[in-house]
Amino acid sequence: MWLAPAAQVENKVIAFRLLPTFYKGSSLTSVVVSCIFGWTGIDRAALGVLGAGQRLSRDLAYKHVGLIVGPASDALIAEATKFSDSIAVADHPLLDSYHSETTLTALTEVCKQLNPKAVLLGNDTYCQELVPRLAHRLGGSAAGDALKLSGRNETVLVTRSVYGGKAQATIKLSRAPAILWVRARAQEPAQQQALTTDLTRLTLTLEPNTKIKLVDRQTEMQGTARLEDARVIVSGGRGLGGSEPFTQLRALAEIMGGQMAASRAACDAGWVPAEWQVGQTGKKVSPQLYLAIAISGASQHIMGIADAKTIAAINLDPDAPIFQHCQFGLVEDYRQVVGPLREKLIELLA
């Protein structure tokens, strides 16, 4: 089972306690697990997950376990020790990169060992697909896109947007364990706490999955950082009428060091890649500035930008719903604006 050969790493990073006390005698203490993946490391999203885990475990008076799945470097483990009460590591050669079935099997096995009351994952597409299946295998319940989490009377409550952002629901997950994916970047990042020395290495028996084979993986379509991490986003919608105007928008975005995004209508029309899509079914972004150009602002799109600090819009239609979510806006045909705006911004930002 969870034999912990901690001695091997003992001298390298930090002194770990052998055999964490709270595992002894099965479920003396209940735990909340925040799941971090070795291939992503501890980025802003992972900090959000850990933060949510910290708060939820505090709410429920459970122990907070940081679980590292996949390649766990010493540096990563060292970083993780700052944010949880204990660390569990599930590494295996087959977990060097993500594979849905293998990762799911691994997670299931790990969770069976840790016996958590709640497991938190981030909101990338991998996490999203793992959550319900993991819940099913553990006989628990699941919820996704959690904006707020709280724990009460040993159950987890999740607040999430429903009906395309028209309503917010609070859902009680009555069947433990509660497996969740949270809107990671919208969560307050984890607070540093006393370094834990409680490390467990879990052994896994995994077999390669032959049913699903990864043939090719294309990443970083934009050639830059992730849209979710962008500080400035310039986004275009149906009103642009084609792919050509996006080059103008990109020029505008570049001088602000920003990234490009688009509404679902623009992506569906094939003007820009689907990865640019922001909204209910696209990315949820949280930039300092979201500049929406020729986007009308259906509630489904607003869902994706709810966490933006400042929203500004340029639209010909003063009644476009986007303006109801803007801090400032200009009613004008974007064709008249984008070029001169770029010139002026070059001066101002110089």
Partner 1 sequence: MNGEHATREVFWNVSQVWVMYVLLIPTMLVAGYGIYRRFRTWRRGRPEQRFDQPWVRIQFLFRHAVVQQATWQKRFAGFFHALIFWGMVNLTVATTVVLVHHDFGLPIMQGQFYLWFQSLTVDIFGALTILGLSLAAVRRWTSPSMPLVHSWEASMILILLLTILFSGFLLEGWRIAATNDPWGMWSPFGYVIAMASLSWMSIPAMQWTHAVTWWFHMGLVFGFLAWAPYTKLLHPLTAVLNLYTAPLSPIGGSLHAIDFDKNESLGVNALSSFTWKDLLDLDACTECGRCTAVCPANAVGKLLSPRDLILDLRHLSRTQDDFSKPIIDATPALSPEALWACTTCGACVESCPVSIAQMPKIVDMRRHLAMEEAVLPDTMEKAIGSLEARGHPYAGTQFSRLDWMKGLEVPQRADIQECDVLLWVGCGGALVERNQRVTRAMAQLLDKAGVNYAVLGREERCTGDPARRMGNEFLFQKLAGENIATLQRYQVKTVVTACPHCFNTLRNEYPELGGNFEVLHHSQFLERLVSEGKLSPKAQSEAKVTFHDPCYLGRQNNIFDAPRQLVQISVRPASVEMEKSREKSFCCGGGGGMSFVDEPANQRVNQERARQVLETGADVVAVGCPFCMTMLEDGVNAVRSSDPSTRPTKVLDVAELLWDSVRDQSTTF
Partner 2 sequence: MISPAKGLTHLMNILVCLKQILDPELPSRDFRIDAAGRDADRNTAGLVMNIFCANALETALQFREKHGGKITVITFGVPSAEEILRKALALRVDSAVLIRSDLSQRPNPWCIARVLAAAIRKLGDFDLVLTGRESGDWGDGQTGALLAEELGRPCVSLADELKADTVNTALVRIRRQTDQGWEALEASTPLVITVTNNEHNVPRIAKTRDVMQAFRQPLTTWSLAELGVDAQSISEDLACTEVVELAIPIKQTHCEWVTGETLDDRISLLAKRIATVVQSA
Q: Which of residues 307-326 bind partner 1 (CB under 8 A)?
A: 316-317, 319, 321
Do 213 and 180 touch, CB atoms closer than 8 A?
no
Cα 158 from Cα 125, distance rounded (Å): 19
Residues with Cβ within 8 Å of 165's Cβ and at least 6 positions away in sequence, in order, are 280, 299, 300, 302, 303, 306
Cα 196 from Cα 17, distance rounded (Å): 9
By CB under 8 A, residue 164 contacts partner 1: no
Cα 212 from Cα 266, distance rounded (Å): 32
CA-closest candidate to residue 130, choices 181, 191, 63: 181
Cis check for the bond before 177: say yes or no (omega within 30 of 0).
Answer: yes
Residue with tokens 């709640």: 118
84 contact choice in partner 1, partner 2, none (CB below 5 to 8 Å, kind-dependent): none
By CB under 8 A, residue 207 contacts partner 2: no
Residue with tokens 């911004």: 345
Q: Which of residues 264-323 bind partner 2 (CB under 8 A)?
A: 264, 267-270, 274-275, 280-281, 283, 287-289, 291, 298-300, 309-314, 321, 323
| Paired tokens of 99 | 């594979």
By CB under 8 A, residue 193 contacts partner 2: no
By CB under 8 A, residue 333 contacts partner 1: yes
Q: Measured in whole angstroms, how far is the alpha carbon of residue 253 from the centre of its chain?
A: 24
Q: Which of residues 253-272 bind partner 1 (CB under 8 A)?
A: 269
User: What is the x/- site pattern for partner 2, positions 232-261, by CB under 8 A?
Assistant: x-----------------------xxx---
| Paired tokens of 21 | 């006390």
To the nearest whole angstrom, how small is the minimum distance from the Cβ of residue 317 to partner 1?
8
Closer residue to partner 1 in complex, CB, 96/317: 317
To the nearest whole angstrom, how small is the minimum distance from the Cβ of residue 186 to partner 2?
14
Q: Which of residues 107-146 bind partner 2 (CB under 8 A)?
A: 124-126, 128-129, 131-133, 136-137, 140-145
Amino acid letter for position 6: A
Q: Which of residues 65-94 bind partner 1 (CB under 8 A)?
A: none
Closer residue to partner 2 in complex, CB, 55/160: 160
90 contact choice in partner 1, partner 2, none (CB below 5 to 8 Å, kind-dependent): none
170 contact choice in partner 1, partner 2, none (CB below 5 to 8 Å, kind-dependent): partner 2
CA-closest candidate to residue 231, choices 248, 256, 255, 252: 256
By CB under 8 A, residue 330 contacts partner 1: no
Amino acid letter for position 341: L
Cα 261 from Cα 275, distance rounded (Å): 8
How many residues bind partner 1 (CB under 8 A)? The answer is 10
Using CB under 8 A, pick the residue from 296, 313, 314, 315 that binds partner 1. Answer: 296
By CB under 8 A, residue 298 contacts partner 1: yes
What is the dihedral sign for C-alpha 138, 143, 149, 154? negative
Closer residue to partner 2 in complex, CB, 197/299: 299
Contact residues for partner 1 (CB under 8 A)?
Answer: 241, 269, 296, 298, 316-317, 319, 321, 333, 336
